[in-house]
Amino acid sequence: MGTIRLGVDIGGTFTDLVLLDDKTGQTMVVKVPSQPNKPADALAAAVKRALKQANAPAESVNLLNHGTTIVTNAVLEGNLARTALITTSGFRDVLEIGRHVRPDMYDLNQDKPTPIVPRDLRFEVKERMAPDGNVLVSLEPGSVRAAVAAAKASGASAIAIGFLHAYANTEHETAMKAELIAALPEVSVSASSDICREIREFERISTVVLNAAAMPVVSRYLEILGELTADLIPKARVLLMQSNGGSMTVGAARQAPAHLVYSGPAAGVLACQFIGQLTQRPNVLGFDMGGTSTDISLVYRGEPLMTTEADVGGYPVKLPVLDVNTIGAGGGSIAWLDSGGGLRVGPKSAGADPGPVAYQQGGTEPTVTDANLVLGRLIPDRFLGGEMMLDPDAALVAIRKKIAEPLGLDPISAAAGILRIANANMERALKVSSAERGYDPRDFSLIAFGGAGPVHAAALAKEVGFASVLVPESPGVFSAFGLLVADLRHDFVRSYMVGLDQVSTKMLTSFYADLQALGEQALKDDGLDEQRWTFQRTADLRYVGQAYEVNVAFPDGSIDADTVAEVKSRFHGEHQRLFAHSAEDDPVEFVSLRMVATGSVDAPTFRKQQALSTPVSQADTRDVYFEEANGFTACPIYQRQNLYPGAEFQGPAIIEQLDTTTVVHPGQTVSVDDWGSLIIGMEG
């Protein structure tokens, strides 16, 4: 058996790889430019480089876990497959009607996203289920044949099936799916009861449509990935990161690609949870700033926040996902002037191609990275460990021409303004993810990662009020590291709407037993031993009349009246914590029952590093711009590989390493903990 695991995270600008040798405990990082049109080629390049640098044979790799943005990109770029929808007669326009809630409630002219399936590709079938699962209208064979013929004639390469109340009874969807597969074996088919078995027709059908439309796209990518990995690392098992924080097999990903919507950001959340546990920080907030966007996530009392209501590109996705707040702010975010002459930053990004002006790859618009370079926070000949040369003169010219001269500013002031506005955007997002959700930032450590996260985190922590900033040992590839600690995971749900005063404990027992059976089968299909299986029950509850639910843990063991009373008590307590009020005398009802089936993997073992025995030595000094110093000031420059546990020094400081640069502001302190992480303390 091989001893090497690889985690590969493909981002908008760079593809990151972490190599872990389980035998020695050693890690290695690789960072290569992403190839948006051929993402698998960037993965292959990273794997080849890692094996060469580690001097490791290809056969020694036993696992590749991969985070990808392929589904998200396909949705945002409109590159999904031509998809048809087969639905219950009379419900052809569910996707069009949607909900009355608008993203901006005061904008009367906003347009809804164009449905993934246009109206002429939506076909009706005569059938009808009741909310309790009873058949009101049997599946009419003639309309089934007509729908199959229409779907075939449409030229669709994917078909979604979404029948009314199919969450309560899957019989009609299952029969329809069988007819389609038999008649159209080359077409991808997805039924809502396979991907999302819970209430809310619009969200359920939106989810299955997105899943079906992504199936051909993901299948093509997985074929390419399979060919590459078979040649590169023939003995490695390939897994993909899900939005829920667990891994999935290639086979599972082909059938349920909607679970990959937030694949990339999810890995970073797991890494935050892992390092929080390692350093005894149960409350951490992840700040992942890359080249095109910033992902913000929260881990509270050791558990990452989850949600079952997400969207991508304005399309609802009714699946369990890690709660990540993503904004269009990254190192490649473009600075521009609006029609009133106001300075804006983002959300448009220069991405990997052409990239910031300083990359010398054809970019002409000034970006956040260009501003950091002009202000001395990045060294031109040390970017990516010296692998990429930056052009500060080109960055300065772009800022002068596009921003400074139109505003009547000098280029340095314009560059400082770009950073102020970029930081203000991210500061608002951090407050939305913490204080505005009832969490006190002073109780949290901010974990800064991504290629640009450590450049900005110290300034943001000071403004928002975080107690400290933790910069992990390899922050630029931290999300890739998260892939190495991800377990395999499957989520199952069954809507069951009944008041707690009328609930049947026998029915609860039966439903959870069915869900666990599905979980056991899924883990068997994953090839995992039973010793690695765990199951977690939860339930969604609400006060009768509410339009939203609260998820609470459901006790293990047998289910009786005391169990139901405990769940009710947990619901009241969680409602109070979330919304600052509860109504213990009001009736409560179950809405959905959930089961998480997890197959554990061996977590990496890390040893505390040896403490520093010699004084901290700085590499050199250079002038860096800080607003606190009213301009440029002589700033010590440190190399990260020379900092060991026990090291302490004062800001200002710049700390350089292969995958990122850490900026420490005047008045802040830096120490290195036992695990090699930088701890930046705020000024007193």
Q: Within 13 Å of residue 44, how many CA atoms lie on the same side as its CB?
A: 15
Weakest mean pLDDT among 194-208, 473-487, 549-563 = 473-487
- What pLDDT is recorded for position 239? 95
When the pLDDT of each residue in the chain is averaged and rounded to a whole number, the result is 91
The span from the CA of 71 to the CA of 262, in Å, is 8
pLDDT classification of 625: cutoffs 50, 70, 90: very high
- What pLDDT is recorded for position 684? 52
pLDDT tens digits along 395-412: 999 999 999 999 999 999
CB atoms within 10 A of CB 601: 18
The owner of tokens 């002006």 is: 357
Q: Is 303 exposed, middle or buried (CB count within 10 Å of its CB: 0-12, 13-18, 19+)?
A: exposed
pLDDT classification of 43: cutoffs 50, 70, 90: very high
What single-letter amino acid sits at 129?
A: M
pTM for the model: 0.88
The span from the CA of 336 to the CA of 333, in Å, is 10
Task: Decide if domain 264-316+438-477 falls under CATH 3.30.420.
Answer: yes
The owner of tokens 């959930």 is: 594
pLDDT classification of 385: cutoffs 50, 70, 90: low
- Domain(s) labelled CATH 3.30.420.40 in the chain stretch across 4-75+219-260
pLDDT classification of 374: cutoffs 50, 70, 90: very high
**Residues of 343-357 as b/e, b for ≥16 C-beta within 10 angstroms?**
bbbbeebbbbbebbb
Is pLDDT at 360 greater than 80 in this prediction? yes
The span from the CA of 6 to the CA of 23, in Å, is 14
Residue 209: strand, helix, or coil = helix
The span from the CA of 10 to the CA of 608, in Å, is 30
Q: Is 573 exposed, middle or buried (CB count within 10 Å of its CB: 0-12, 13-18, 19+)?
A: middle
Question: Beta strands 158-162 and 83-88: pairing type?
Answer: parallel
Is pLDDT at 354 greater than 90 in this prediction? no
- Domain(s) labelled CATH 3.30.1490 in the chain stretch across 487-599
- What pLDDT is recorded for position 157? 97
Q: What is the CATH number of domain 4-75+219-260?
A: 3.30.420.40
What single-letter amino acid sits at 333?
A: S
Question: Beta strands 158-162 and 343-349: pairing type?
Answer: unpaired
Q: What is the CATH number of domain 487-599?
A: 3.30.1490
Higher per-residue pLDDT: 162 or 610: 162
The span from the CA of 498 to the CA of 395, in Å, is 62
What single-letter amino acid sits at 518?
A: L
**Ramachandran class of 301: left when φ > 0, alpha when ψ lies in -120 to 50, beta otherwise:** left
- What pLDDT is recorded for position 100? 81
